[in-house]
């Protein structure tokens, strides 16, 4: 989930040439609407497209996709313009970062609760300007010598502290679980059962668990059963294939079956790409559309 990694890997030099008749000045409407009619609302990366942020939105819509996600979009200087364009085009906006860290401070330590509250408050203001309803929280590094129960209770308390303002804003905050075997050694929240337990302990409708399919495949597998088991606690999805963290079809996950399971579980919100693609943009979009054909 390291944003800097994805800004590097997702922005390949092949992007511009791969877009065909969509110029950097905006979408011309001359491209195939690859994403039209999909049941799964896949949020693509704006980094796959050239031009300004607003021009990227035009291109996403031109290809028939209905959402984008960039965790750093809360820091964009043109948030209001992006929101207006997304409203015009019917583009939904995925999660933005809201506080905590992967290898450092986190609300699994009560000493950082007020820092977390302040961070979420800033994120809500950014989210309002951008137009998103999803805030992403990170629990922080595992605290050595402190039990899992104590850390879950601390994170639950942090969720309870921010819940009133998250709810008042009409948003949700999702705690992301990460793998420690390949990408993020030392992180606290790893398993989907612990993510679901955190949501139950928090007991606030606006606080949910982010099920990252890539991370959960590495950490525990059993994807479809866990999605079905914990769907009430899940508020957002990320995905990439395993190994490599690239597009579906490069690894071991059957994304047709996984997306079908998500849909049949009743989930209708965003399923967001968080991957480094290894193919041109148009081919990437076709791969995503094919995952929705079951």
Q: For Cα atoms 38, 272, 141, give the angle at the middle one, nearest 5 degrees.
A: 160
pLDDT (tens digit per residue) in 107-145: 999 999 999 999 999 999 999 999 999 999 999 999 999
Calculate mean pLDDT across residues 179-186.
98
Calculate mean pLDDT across residues 6-14.
38
Does residue 186 contact residue 142 with C-beta atoms inside 8 Å? yes
What b/e sequence results for 102-128 when a residue is b if at least 16 CB atoms lie within 10 Å of its CB, and e otherwise?
A: beebbbbbeebbebbeebbeebbebbb
pLDDT (tens digit per residue) in 38-63: 999 999 999 999 999 999 999 999 99
Q: What is the CATH number of domain 3-291?
A: 3.20.20.150
Calculate mean pLDDT across residues 220-229.
98
Least confident of 18-27, 183-192, 220-229: 18-27
* pTM of the full structure: 0.91
- Domain residue extents for the chain: 3-291
Taking all residues of the chain, what is their mean pLDDT, rounded to a whole number? 92
The residue behind tokens 């409407």 is 29
Calculate mean pLDDT across residues 27-37.
83
pLDDT (tens digit per residue) in 237-281: 999 999 999 999 999 999 999 999 999 999 999 999 999 999 999
Calculate mean pLDDT across residues 154-175.
98
Q: Say whether 4 sits in a helix, a strand or coil.
A: helix
pLDDT (tens digit per residue) in 97-111: 999 999 999 999 999
pLDDT (tens digit per residue) in 247-256: 999 999 999 9
pLDDT (tens digit per residue) in 70-85: 999 999 999 999 999 9
pLDDT value of residue 29: 53
pLDDT band with cut points at 50, 70 and 90 for residue 14: very low
Take residue 42 and report the two structure tokens written for it: 């896949």
- DSSP state string for 236-258: EEEE--TTTS-STTSSS--HHHH
pLDDT value of residue 128: 98
Does residue 288 contact residue 35 with C-beta atoms inside 8 Å? yes
């Amino acid at each position: 989930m390291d944003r800097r990694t994805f800004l590097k890997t997702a922005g390949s030099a092949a992007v511009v040439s791969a877009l065909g008749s969509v110029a950097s000045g905006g979408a011309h409407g001359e491209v195939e609407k690859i994403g039209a009619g999909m049941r799964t609302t896949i949020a693509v990366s704006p980094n796959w497209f050239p031009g300004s942020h607003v021009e990227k939105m035009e291109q996403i819509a031109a290809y028939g996709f209905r959402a984008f996600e960039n965790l750093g979009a809360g820091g964009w200087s043109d948030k209001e313009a992006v929101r207006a364009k997304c409203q015009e085009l019917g583009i939904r906006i995925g999660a933005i970062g809201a506080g905590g860290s992967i290898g450092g401070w986190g609300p699994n330590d009560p000493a950082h609760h007020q820092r977390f509250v302040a961070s979420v408050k800033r994120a809500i203001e950014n989210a309002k300007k951008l137009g998103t309803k999803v805030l992403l929280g990170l629990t922080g590094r595992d605290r050595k010598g402190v039990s899992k129960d104590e850390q879950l209770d601390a994170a639950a308390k942090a969720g309870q502290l921010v819940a009133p303002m998250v709810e008042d804003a009409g948003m949700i905050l999702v705690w992301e679980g990460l793998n420690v075997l390949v990408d993020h050694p030392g992180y606290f929240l790893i398993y989907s059962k612990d993510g679901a337990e955190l949501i139950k302990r928090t007991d606030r409708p606006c606080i949910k668990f982010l099920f990252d399919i890539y991370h959960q495949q590495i950490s525990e597998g059993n994807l479809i059963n866990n999605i079905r088991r914990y769907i009430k606690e899940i508020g957002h999805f990320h995905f990439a294939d395993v190994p490599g963290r690239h597009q579906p079809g490069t690894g071991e996950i059957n994304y047709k079956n996984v997306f079908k399971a998500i849909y049949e579980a009743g989930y209708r919100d965003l399923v967001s790409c968080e991957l480094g693609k290894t193919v041109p943009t148009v081919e990437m979009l076709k791969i995503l559309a094919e995952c929705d054909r079951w």
